Amino acid sequence: MINSDNLCMSCMKEIGTEKQCPYCGFHVDSQQSADYLPVRTVIGNRYLVGKLLEFNGDGATYMGFDLTAREAINIREYFPVGVAQRDPKTLTVSPAEGKDKIFSEYIQSFTELWRKLMRLNGLSALLKVNNIIEGGGTCYAITENIDGITLREHLLRNNSAGYIPWEKARPMLMPVLSTLGTLHNSGIVHRGISPSTLIVAPDGKIRITGFSINAVRSAHTDLKKEIFPGYAAFEQYGFEGRQGPGTDVYAFGAVLYRTLIGTDPIDAQERVANDKLMIPGKFAEQLPAYVINGLVNALQILPDDRIKTVDELRDELSASPNAVAAADKMDIDKIRKNQRVEQPARVTEAPEKRVEAQKKHNRNMTLIAIITILVIAVVAIGVCLTLLDSDSGNDTTTPSVIQEMVEVPSFLNKDFEDIMADKYYTSNFNIQKQESYNDKVEEGVVISQNIAPGTQIGQKSTIILTVSKGREYVSFPANGIVGVDYNEAKALLEKSGYKVTKVEKSNPGGYIEGTVYQSSLDSGEIYPKGSQVILTVWGAEPTTTTEPSTEPSTESGTMDDTGGFLQQILG
């Protein structure tokens, strides 16, 4: 049986009475940053907190130990930088001054993200979520601890060049692509796929880690951003295009590029000014042409030019017939749009195939040139006819353009991000979003639309979709309401959305009648809007001295400042 008192707080291996861990070098007297949970804090009477591993815009990750299962785990705490604060005595978390609204909004996103991930346990490339605990003013996600290394470390250890061939990369990375597809179908877009967030486990398989809420992986939000240069898509910087599954497609393409070529791709912001995605000749000769084609199409800067889904990318990387046909169409479309596409030469195995490919390319270019000449000729004829009509004095007017009509589909119960990632919807409708809290509909799902399904409207007409923000949470007054006049406390709580029930407590004397003695909810905690709160209020002071009452008391049992949720063990 493992004795938790003898555990190293960095690797959770038994070290007895040693002061310095012989396995990882961690010293038992090492101090944790004051902003975060001290080592040996216990969460929910079960999870022992160890060394702070990392933190970003929405929280912190600690090494941990499950005292019940007797195994090492990781603990992810919602603690957004600059938005949350911690009481140094009780260790509870509350919104920083003036940050109540965004604290409440983002804790909902955090909790819902990890609940979704927990429902997806069992995916081969996904980190397992063991438990989700809400308490202490915040939320904790308990995940498995993977004793592995990052993909970046793995590549550097593989050889001095830091890359591996496609034959080795394919079985490692394709399961990641499949898992990403399942995540997207569940409404989760990672936005942070990189060699630093992919962990190579001892079994050689990759696990996806580094999950954060959307606001962390986007510029211009209230949270401190965490964007991985070279792997973040152009739209994450706040430029043209909406984020969606294609955002992860770009990141996966960048990871594949790093894995096969050995260097980080140029950052998307730099590529806008000078878009050169170069593949050195020695790699172009070794890599299959369909892999190069998949890389190029996944790493297109603008979302509209990029592969939209992981299914399409998987087809391209497996050289399926559908992907080949789609790739040919994509090349023609880009030529028609006059876009400059920097593509490396596609190398095939036989010289005769290269000749045939060049002939096909020449035929396509000739056909495009003929079509272009014919279009110019038709336009010229139209101009001439217009001039002739004008000269002949005919009183004619230009016919008005007839707007194409489209039928409004049903957007109800669909994920808004999936809708915006669908080119059919965005090309036919001007979709506007408004948000509303809803206890029964999952966050991000459409609740209603302002134009009924089946209605015929003009193309690019505006449709307003009301999207659920999930259940609304509100914070209980941080300073508490004990000692406050009941009517004042009731008005304050009802304004915040709580339902208030009054229980009177007999006054032994010396207490002000009508003031709050205690509350059933804890100060500074976050609760669902509409929660019931019971306020115990002092009754009237006795007019004469009486014997102590033998009647049973209506007083509720009290808890300590942390409700027994957070305990600090001094070791």
The C-alpha atoms of residue 392 and residue 376 are separated, in whole angstroms, by: 25
Residue 393 to residues 347, 363, 397: CA-CA distances in angstroms? 62, 46, 12
Q: What is the homologous superfamily of the domain 1-145 according to CATH?
A: Phosphorylase Kinase; domain 1 (3.30.200.20)
The pLDDT score that the predictor gives to residue 501 is 87
Contact of 203 with 98, CB cutoff 8 Å: no
The C-alpha atoms of residue 461 and residue 47 are separated, in whole angstroms, by: 54
The pLDDT score that the predictor gives to residue 478 is 66
What backbone phi and psi angles, to 5 degrees, belong to 234? -55, -40
The pLDDT score that the predictor gives to residue 554 is 36
What mean pLDDT do residues 26-41 have? 92
Max Cα–Cα distance, the chain, nearest Å = 116
* Cα dihedral 347, 350, 351, 354 sign: negative
391: pLDDT confidence band, cut at 50, 70 and 90? very low
pLDDT in tens, 473-498: 888 886 778 888 999 999 999 998 88
The chain-wide mean pLDDT, for the chain, equals 82
pLDDT in tens, 119-146: 999 888 999 999 999 999 999 999 999 9
DSSP 122-182: T-TTBPPEEEEEEETTEEEEEEEPP--EEHHHHHHHH-TT----HHHHHHHHHHHHHHHHH
Q: Which fold has domain 405-468?
A: Trypsin Inhibitor V; Chain A (3.30.10)
pLDDT in tens, 166-182: 999 999 999 999 999 99
* Angle at the Cα of 237 from the Cα atoms of 138 and 331, rounded to 5 degrees: 130
The pLDDT score that the predictor gives to residue 336 is 33
**Topology match between the domains 405-468 and 473-562:** yes
The residue extents of the domains of the chain are 1-145, 148-347, 405-468, 473-562
The C-alpha atoms of residue 127 and residue 135 are separated, in whole angstroms, by: 23
The pLDDT score that the predictor gives to residue 240 is 57
Highest mean pLDDT among 92-106, 267-281, 427-441: 92-106
The pLDDT score that the predictor gives to residue 440 is 80
Place of tokens 């470390």: 153
Q: What would the CATH number be for the domain defined by 148-347? A: 1.10.510.10
**Right CATH number for 473-562 from 3.40.50.1820, 3.40.50.2300, 3.30.10.20, 2.40.50.320?**
3.30.10.20
Beta bridge partners of 435: 467
